[in-house]
């Protein structure tokens, strides 16, 4: 059997036609596709504003800046995430800290957050922004976090990079609870533009600030200018922004992909359910489900149950890779990275994230995965767990 990756993009003829049409058009960047993609993404997520940017790392950075994060600010996130969830605060000169995860959902624990906030209030070290991560596509405990945000006065920047189209308490992720949400369109994610990101928010001022920072902090409309323009050529720089724009090629691809989001979700959900059944008898902890939320199933991550299986994770991983199965591990806890250790973090600080990581394995999951391939993954895994 050919190599089976843990994730693979689905690009069809409509996607190719959409990108080709842009190549033949007048605008390769700053044309009509990007605002259309924003409007359609906002509509699909039931949110007032969506701002497209070059990738989700930049989206997190700009959203932090738009929330006023800077030197002296404190930002907390989940250690069980990709590096960007924490790096975005460091880009702004802020101080980063972590909140340990819930062992079942693998998302930031709302009770650990509540506990850490009580302590921070006593010490006068409350955070300005908290970044929960919808790990594997399962929305975080956003309602509990909203209540804490209102009580302690921080803003919620949801890293929904895994969670395009996921739902929480009957609403699409990105539409409620968080002050802003960030989505990734990297090739391995739910919807892809090769590289790309989006910030969604119900707050017009926040959306406007991200738009400003996306393009050099520059405005071109007279109504927005601080000074009376000398002529129609005048543009004004009002903040220190960046070039974080999405190209027309990417936006056209995103629009085309977004049309298939319901089908792609249905495939992922069916495969996840199939894994749940096929893996039930193995010494594994399967992903948690919660009745009040729908995962987008970016990842199907299992945890080898050490109490029932003595085979080291590294051996299981290698056995699957040797069989041409592209398992992966999500995530090495951010605070254990050398760079973060140099900032003073130590292994042992966030034990639930570390315990999960030690036994974690992400199995192949993408819309085009066939039942036969999935059976092959399960059979190979079952054998590896016995070895
Ligand atoms: C992929 C990812 C990012 C970064 O996304 P890019 O679009 O690759 O910059 C950030 N956070 C999480 C949780 C991710 O999985």
Domains contained in the chain, number:
2
CA–CA gap between residue 100 and residue 247 (Å, rounded) = 37
Please check whether residues 268 and 285 belong to one and the same domain: yes
Please check whether residues 360 and 292 belong to one and the same domain: yes
CA–CA gap between residue 309 and residue 383 (Å, rounded) = 12
Distances (CA, A) of 371 to 223, 268, 368, 374: 57, 12, 9, 5
CA–CA gap between residue 224 and residue 251 (Å, rounded) = 26
Please check whether residues 250 and 274 belong to one and the same domain: no
- DSSP assignments along 218-284, one per residue: EE--GGG-SS--SSTT--EE-S---B-PPBHHHHHHHHHHHHTHHHHHHHHHHHHHHHHHHTTTSSE
- Helical (H) or strand (E) element with 32: none
Please check whether residues 112 and 243 belong to one and the same domain: yes
Domain boundary residue, one of 203, 238, 259: 259
Q: What is the structure's pLDDT at 199?
A: 98
pLDDT tens track for 100-143: 999 999 999 999 999 999 999 999 999 999 999 999 999 999 99
Ligand 1 neighbourhood includes 184 CB (under 6 angstroms): yes
Please check whether residues 209 and 340 belong to one and the same domain: no
Q: Are strands 95-98 and 74-77 parallel, antiparallel or unpaired?
A: parallel
Please check whether residues 190 and 220 belong to one and the same domain: yes
- DSSP assignments along 298-350, one per residue: S-EEEEE-TTT--S-HHHHHHHHHHTTB--B-----GGGSHHHHHTT--TTSS
pLDDT tens track for 29-88: 999 999 999 999 999 999 999 999 999 999 999 999 999 999 999 999 999 999 999 999
Distances (CA, A) of 114 to 119, 139, 212: 9, 18, 34
Query: Which structural domain range is residue 63 located in?
Result: 4-259
Please check whether residues 143 and 15 belong to one and the same domain: yes
> What residues contact 223, with CB distance under 8 A and at least 6 apart?
none
Residue 266, domain CATH:
3.90.1150.10
Please check whether residues 54 and 145 belong to one and the same domain: yes
**Does 383 qualify as catalytic in the annotation?**
no
State in Å: Cα 243 to ligand 1 middle.
Answer: 18
Q: Atom 8, ligand 1: which residue's CA is nearest? A: 186
Please check whether residues 281 and 141 belong to one and the same domain: no
Tokens linked to 384: 């590896």
Reduced to 3 states (helix: H, G, I; strand: E, B; else coil), residue 185 is coil
Intervals of the chain under pLDDT 50: none
The count of C-alpha atoms lying within 13 angstroms of the C-alpha of 289, restricted to the half-sphere facing its C-beta, is: 8
Radius of gyration for the chain, computed over Cα atoms and rounded to the nearest angstrom: 22
Ligand 1 neighbourhood includes 159 CB (under 6 angstroms): yes
pTM of the model: 0.98
Ligand 1 neighbourhood includes 359 CB (under 6 angstroms): no
CA–CA gap between residue 289 and residue 167 (Å, rounded) = 12
Reduced to 3 states (helix: H, G, I; strand: E, B; else coil), residue 162 is coil
Please check whether residues 233 and 317 belong to one and the same domain: no
CA–CA gap between residue 60 and residue 274 (Å, rounded) = 34
Domain boundary residue, one of 259, 276, 309: 259
CA neighbor of 177 nearest in space, from 199, 202, 152: 202
Please check whether residues 283 and 344 belong to one and the same domain: yes
Q: What is the structure's pLDDT at 108?
A: 98
Q: Atom 10, ligand 1: which residue's CA is nearest? A: 84
Q: What is the structure's pLDDT at 387?
A: 75
Please check whether residues 320 and 274 belong to one and the same domain: yes
CA–CA gap between residue 29 and residue 179 (Å, rounded) = 29
Maximum CA extent, the chain: 77
The residue from 167, 189, 265, 267 that is catalytic is 189
Domain boundary residue, one of 259, 284, 307: 259
Residue 48, domain CATH:
3.40.640.10
CA–CA gap between residue 163 and residue 45 (Å, rounded) = 11
Ligand 1 neighbourhood includes 80 CB (under 6 angstroms): no
């Amino acid at each position: 059997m050919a190599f089976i990756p843990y994730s693979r993009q689905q690009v069809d003829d409509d996607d190719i036609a959409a990108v080709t049409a842009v190549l033949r058009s007048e605008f390769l960047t700053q044309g009509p596709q990007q605002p259309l993609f924003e409007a359609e993404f906002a509509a699909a997520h039931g949110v007032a504003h969506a701002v497209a940017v070059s990738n989700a790392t930049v989206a997190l950075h700009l959203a932090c800046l738009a929330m006023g994060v800077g030197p002296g600010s404190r930002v907390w996130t989940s250690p069980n995430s990709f590096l960007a969830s924490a790096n975005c605060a460091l880009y702004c000169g802020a101080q980063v800290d972590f909140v340990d995860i819930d062992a079942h959902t693998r998302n930031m624990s709302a009770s650990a957050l509540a506990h850490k906030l009580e302590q921070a209030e006593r010490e006068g070290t409350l955070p300005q922004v908290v970044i929960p991560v919808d790990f594997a596509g399962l929305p975080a405990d956003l309602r509990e976090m909203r209540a804490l945000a209102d009580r302690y006065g921080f803003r919620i920047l949801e890293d929904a990079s895994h969670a395009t189209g996921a739902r929480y308490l009957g609403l699409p992720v990105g539409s409620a609870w968080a002050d802003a949400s960030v989505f990734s369109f990297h090739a391995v994610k739910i919807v892809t533009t090769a590289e790309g990101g989006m910030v969604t928010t119900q707050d017009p001022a926040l959306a406007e600030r991200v738009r400003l920072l996306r393009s050099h902090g520059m405005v071109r409309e007279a109504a927005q200018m601080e000074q009376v323009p000398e002529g129609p050529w005048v543009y004004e720089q009002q903040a220190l922004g960046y070039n974080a724009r999405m190209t027309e090629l990417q936006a056209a691809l995103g629009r085309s992909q977004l049309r298939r989001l319901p089908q792609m979700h249905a495939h992922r959900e069916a495969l996840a359910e199939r894994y749940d059944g096929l893996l039930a008898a193995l010494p594994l902890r399967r992903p948690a489900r919660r009745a009040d939320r729908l995962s987008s199933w970016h990842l199907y991550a299992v945890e080898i149950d050490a109490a029932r299986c003595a085979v080291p994770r590294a051996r299981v991983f290698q056995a699957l890779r040797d069989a041409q199965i592209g398992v992966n591990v999500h995530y090495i806890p951010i605070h254990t990275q050398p760079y973060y250790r140099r900032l003073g973090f130590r292994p042992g600080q966030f034990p639930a994230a570390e315990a999960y990581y030690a036994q974690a394995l992400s199995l192949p999951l993408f819309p085009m995965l066939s039942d036969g391939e999935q059976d092959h993954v399960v059979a190979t895994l079952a054998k590896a767990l016995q070895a």
